[in-house]
Structure 1
Amino acid sequence: MSKRKDLLQGLWGGELDELKIWNRHDHDGYTTVPRTLTYINRILDYLAGTGSPLSQTYLSLWCRVFDEGFIEIRDKESFAYESGFSGQRAVSTWTVRMRKLKELGFITTKPGASGEFQYVLLLNPLSVIQKIYENKDKDERYNALLGRMQEVGAKWE
């Protein structure tokens, strides 16, 4: 890590003290996401099929989750908006995407007073993808994810 700090110092020098850099340890309102999330999202959109991308809905869940992987959804409209949906069909479109995420195994849910998705648990996406591809040809999306996992030291389990 000190090599990276040295590189930062070498590139930006004294400017670093004046620049506002995001640091999740110093600022509230941030979360930890997998470094492989962009690759996971590519696979999700592929698995969803044409015209029904899942990545924005999945990203909105990651932006709300804490380290235990649990989300309580009381305001479906906000989640629908964060997922990119607006208008009269926003919540129903969001609900379809959530059902697909559940069907694929990326989330597990329990109903509550606010509906079928009040309680959501995000499952390890790498484990889910590994299982999906067990009996499937490994395509460029899978191979790209595998390469990125090697770069960042991620493991399937």
Structure 2
Amino acid sequence: MTTETTPQATPETPHAHGPRLHWTKLAPEVFQAMVALDAAARKGLDPTLVELVKIRASQINHCAFCIDMHTKDARKAGETEERIYLLNAWEEAASFYTPREQAALALTEAITVLTDGFVPDAVHNRAAALFDEAELAQLIALITTINAWNRFGVSTRMAPGRSQ
């Protein structure tokens, strides 16, 4: 239990809240394991692709902390503002993304929204045609890892603007 006061939400400020708890301090071994998993999952993948995947999953999961962090990381990796802005509508703006990026984003959406059903064969096959098996395994690990980060961020209300 935290001793911090959390502002109450009102109709005027429906999201006026602070963090529920600081999980990284309360479960440091889990946090360190997540950091190690994240580093392992990104190995061998293009840094820009990594950030696009992380931003897209975070958009779907409504994780403001991760969206903020990964848009900043994407810029540092050389990503353009235009592609970051269009990411939420990447299918409509497909010409801005490579076929590999499109396949990775489709796979990201399928894995992130498993409540819509299983990952469709067409989505998997599209990615499998453009990534070798090792890359595909890494990509699936990356998508799974960012979804775990998102769940920590959303459930504990990690505030955007505080990433380092």
TM-score normalised by structure 1 residue count: 0.32
Point out the structure with the larger strand share: 1
With a CA cutoff of 8 Å and minimum separation of 6, indicate the structure with the bigger relative contact order: 2
Point out the structure with the larger helix share: 2
Bigger radius of gyration among the two? 1
